[in-house]
Chains A and B, each alone.
Chain A
Amino acid sequence: MSLINKKLSRRRFLGMSSCTLATAVVGSQVKVLHALAKNGDVTTPQRGKDDDVFTSCGMCVNKCGVIARVRNGVIEKLDPNPNFIKSRAMLCARGNAGVGVVYDPDRLKYPLIRTGKRGEGKFRRAGWKEALDLVAKKMNEVAEKYTRAGVMFASTEGTYQDHFFMQLAECFGSPNNVRHPTLCLSSNIQGFMATFGTNPTPDVLNADYIIMSGANRSEALITPDSIDMLKGDGGRRKLIYLDPRFTKTAAKADQWYPIKAGTDLAFVLAMINVIVNEGLYNRTFVKENCVGFDKLVPHVRSYTPEWAERECEIPAADIRRIAREFALAAPKAIYYHGRRSSFMANDTQLRRGIAILNAIIGNWDVKGGMVPNSRIKIGRHDYLAPWYDDVPDRLDAGSVAYLSENDGAWVPFRDRVLAGKPYPVKGMMVYKQNVLASVPDRARSLKMMDQMDFICTIDITMSDTAWYSDVVLPEATYLERQDPLESIGGILPVVVWRQPCIKAMFESKPNIWIMKEIAKRLGNEVAEQFQFTIEEVIQTQVKGQPQILKALQTQGVYYEKTDPTYGRTLGKRLRTKSGKVEIYSEKYAKKGLDPLPVYEAPKTTPAGKYRLLVGRHAFFTHGTTSNNPYLNAIMPENTLWLNTEEARRRGLQNGMRVTVRSEVGAQTLKLEVTDKIRPDCVYMAHGFGVLSKGLRTVYGKGGCDAALIGSSYDKISGNAALHETFVQIERA
């Protein structure tokens, strides 16, 4: 169990993200439950025997191992699973607060049908049969009028039951799934795939030298990176961090540079320039494994550290020193490429630059370098989606250079819905994706929803998107469901699942049940593909591998090794066209894209305005957890960060309310005057300023970043660009 020993002390881990309340937040849920019971909103809890249930967290993307302590039929506490190697046997504040999801008085309890205008919040309680009949009827009506492509399907990930939602979309016959990647990592994946043929995982634990550009790992938690980042191997670790903000990652770094926003590629290209010019690259690796290095040399000639200093405002001498240190530490050196979303519209080219920089020092597939993911093979639940002759291609086909047919590209997709071209989309099925909080330019997303004939949202709380829906269906929470297995790739791959810790409360149902019931109503052809139970799905997944099921039941996680395997791909063909690392991308050249990353300076900030920065927070997951009573207690609202000197110049004081205005919207929130940000930027955390009055804890608090961010996106991957917006601020 070598990696289990790599965990931090609990105090240090929680301290890292300032989650000092993490263990104190649980424990009072029984009171909440009893209060609900008293109000008649909930039946008496199921009295079962005491139980400790292995399951996996559903609070964010990490899917960490959890043990639910169930006492008298109530989940009293969630503990980390000591066997869960991916999270180094840790559980964060959000994971702890999962109990608050189940016993949240605001959770959806039964199906609802809208009675007032959209967004007015008037719903009536409906039975499942009536609600499901209505959903199927409306889906069929839209299909009849506009073809099946007229219904779009927006899905979250990580519930493990999202696969059934995607199956419904495909079997219904709509090509228009829209998932989160273009609000997330599609540019990152694109840039690395174009270079290495896959998107690897940085071996943070074993790297001696790490450079992070805006990936705020101490607050935007990713396991195991957030934990490993602090640990290092033998204390040799050096962490260089670039961010216009002094984040908690900056606090943990050896050196922090308040880089000018949007100029990271200048820094990267200048590092390449130094490494190439001074001959510090790995000649053997480049010669044997890469194509296009000869074209890189003249390409970076003008990208000198002195040039970069003028762009990114990091001293040339420091760039030169960091480049040398980085090359010296190779191959146990990584320029950390993710995870963080796209900030600028040329983000794919930034990721390409980072990939190339990693490649030339030869850190590919070695200890402490960039390691291609391993994955444990499990059986696949398969189906045969019916074929419909009249269904066109995706609505957003051709909108970006590389479109994922399963994920789409959110911003151009929405633009085309609004334009009604090339065809109308008038039905919207949503599975736990909070479109209004997540997609930039909320006003346009509202317009898109306005023009829909029908909207159905499946969720566990009344998200903003649910609030604007016609039918709202309550899903059982992740602690109440049996979910299928999920194989999570990585340096140390694992298989996880979820078991129900308690019986689903109220009238909530697992998504598999909801999908089957809708399918049943859509006709025989669709219904035929939904003739399975969750148990059958799991049996298919573990077919021939009974040890997986046994491990999940007895230790909550399945894995085959606890020490990484390096070098699996060395000497073998990579999944690129040339089979090698593509420094120069022939396929980009053929598409008319820059085959080597070309720097584009960010737009100059207009006088009197600031660049709006947004970010994740250790207490919250995107737009989904700010209403959690335990988490909200730690941080009740977001604020607008403004540099101290700038605030003084403008006569603005800490704590006053300010209105932030961009070209697409305005929000009012509290000002936080701080030295932790450059004077040319302002910052706000994501997940506040909600529209839904069904989120009673957070409603009316803070401002919504999605209401301010414009619709700029990366034309190669389709990733929304989150830092291309300028705002002005004034006293509210």
Chain B
Amino acid sequence: MKLISKTIAILAVAAFLATPVLGAEGGNPKKGKYLYKKNCKTCHVAGAEGGALTPLSKTQSQWDRFFKKNKHKAKPEIWGKYSEKDLKDINQFLFDHAADSDQPETCG
């Protein structure tokens, strides 16, 4: 019984995941946040090699341009480390939280 309910729950979740919740690039922003923090933040913090960089550092179109055209020109070898899916996820996270994104400010 427990197995059945678990299966149903997983199916329900899978169905939900399949719904179109993703934006411009079709990436998973939550996964993108994880990948960004795990990988990009090693260099992109104040005082480190890449300097401080946050999603707010660019506008949505600037982030899209970065992923489509720039492709980390400053250090191109980094780009090859990631799968296309990973890059999409990171792009989506940065796009969703860009300076001009729709993510509202909070209160309190």
| A contact set with B: CB distance below 8 Å | 61, 144-147, 149-150, 157-158, 175, 179-181, 184-186, 188-190, 193, 197-199, 382, 384-387, 390-393, 397-398, 402, 404-407, 422-424, 575-577, 579, 587, 717
Cα of A271 to Cα of B100 in the assembled complex, Å: 30
CB distance from A624 to the nearest CB of B (A): 13
Instruction: Report A-chain residues with C-beta under 8 Å of the C-beta of B104.
Output: 186, 189-190, 193, 402, 404, 717
Main secondary structure of the interface of B (DSSP, over half): helix
Check A384 against B106 for contact (C-beta < 8 Å): no
Q: Can you give 12 contacting A-B residue pairs, CB < 8 Å?
A: A145-B9, A179-B106, A180-B107, A185-B107, A199-B107, A384-B34, A385-B34, A385-B37, A386-B34, A393-B17, A422-B16, A423-B12
Given contacts A146-B9, A382-B41, A393-B21, contact A199 B34 (CB under 8 A): no
Which of A392, A398, A423, A717 has most B Cβ within 10 Å?
Answer: A392
Q: Which of B2-24 contact A (CB under 8 A)?
A: 2, 5-6, 9-10, 12-13, 15-17, 19, 21
Q: Check: B83 CB closer than 8 A to any chain A CB.
A: no
CB distance from A143 to the nearest CB of B (A): 11
Contact partner, B105, options A193, A385, A424, A577, Cβ 8 Å: A193
Closest to B28 in A: A393
Q: Check: B84 CB closer than 8 A to any chain A CB.
A: no
Q: Which 9 A-B pairs have the closest CB atoms?
A: A157-B108, A387-B34, A422-B16, A185-B107, A392-B16, A392-B13, A404-B104, A181-B107, A393-B21
Q: Check: B38 CB closer than 8 A to any chain A CB.
A: yes
Cα of A149 to Cα of B13 in the assembled complex, Å: 10
Cα of A145 to Cα of B13 in the assembled complex, Å: 12
Cα of A72 to Cα of B92 in the assembled complex, Å: 57
Instruction: Report B-chain residues with C-beta under 8 Å of the C-beta of A184.
Output: 107-108
Cα of A382 to Cα of B37 in the assembled complex, Å: 9
Closest to A489 in B: B105
CB distance from A153 to the nearest CB of B (A): 15
**4 additional contacts, CB 8 Å, given A179-B108, A407-B106, A587-B102?**
A157-B107, A175-B30, A387-B34, A392-B16
Q: Check: B31 CB closer than 8 A to any chain A CB.
A: yes
Instruction: Report B-chain residues with C-beta under 8 Å of the C-beta of A576.
Output: 100
Check B31 against A197 for contact (C-beta < 8 Å): no
Which of B9, B19, B106 has most A Cβ within 10 Å?
Answer: B106
| B contact set with A: CB distance below 8 Å | 2, 5-6, 9-10, 12-13, 15-17, 19, 21, 30-31, 34, 37-38, 41, 99-100, 102-108
Contact partner, B9, options A158, A180, A423, Cβ 8 Å: A423
CB distance from A593 to the nearest CB of B (A): 12
Closest to A379 in B: B46
Cα of A579 to Cα of B62 in the assembled complex, Å: 13
Instruction: Report A-chain residues with C-beta under 8 Å of the C-beta of B17.
Output: 392-393
Instruction: Report A-chain residues with C-beta under 8 Å of the C-beta of B105.
Output: 189, 193, 198-199
Cα of A579 to Cα of B59 in the assembled complex, Å: 10
Cα of A199 to Cα of B6 in the assembled complex, Å: 44
Which of B17, B30, B103 has most A Cβ within 10 Å?
Answer: B30
Cα of A407 to Cα of B13 in the assembled complex, Å: 21
Contact partner, A181, options B13, B16, B38, B106, Cβ 8 Å: B106
Closest to B6 in A: A145
Check A147 against B13 for contact (C-beta < 8 Å): yes
Instruction: Report A-chain residues with C-beta under 8 Å of the C-beta of B5.
Output: 145
Check A393 against B108 for contact (C-beta < 8 Å): no
Check A422 against B12 for contact (C-beta < 8 Å): yes
Closest to A144 in B: B6
Check B100 against A181 for contact (C-beta < 8 Å): no
Contact partner, A390, options B2, B13, B41, B99, Cβ 8 Å: B13
Instruction: Report B-chain residues with C-beta under 8 Å of the C-beta of A393.
Output: 16-17, 21, 30
Cα of A405 to Cα of B101 in the assembled complex, Å: 13
Check A387 against B12 for contact (C-beta < 8 Å): no
Closest to B12 in A: A423
CB distance from A79 to the nearest CB of B (A): 25
Instruction: Report A-chain residues with C-beta under 8 Å of the C-beta of B34.
Output: 384-387
Given contacts A186-B107, A198-B105, contact A390 B10 (CB under 8 A): yes
Cα of A392 to Cα of B100 in the assembled complex, Å: 26
Cα of A436 to Cα of B21 in the assembled complex, Å: 31
CB distance from A359 to the nearest CB of B (A): 18
Instruction: Report B-chain residues with C-beta under 8 Å of the C-beta of A384.
Output: 34, 37-38
Which of B16, B21, B38, B107 has most A Cβ within 10 Å?
Answer: B107
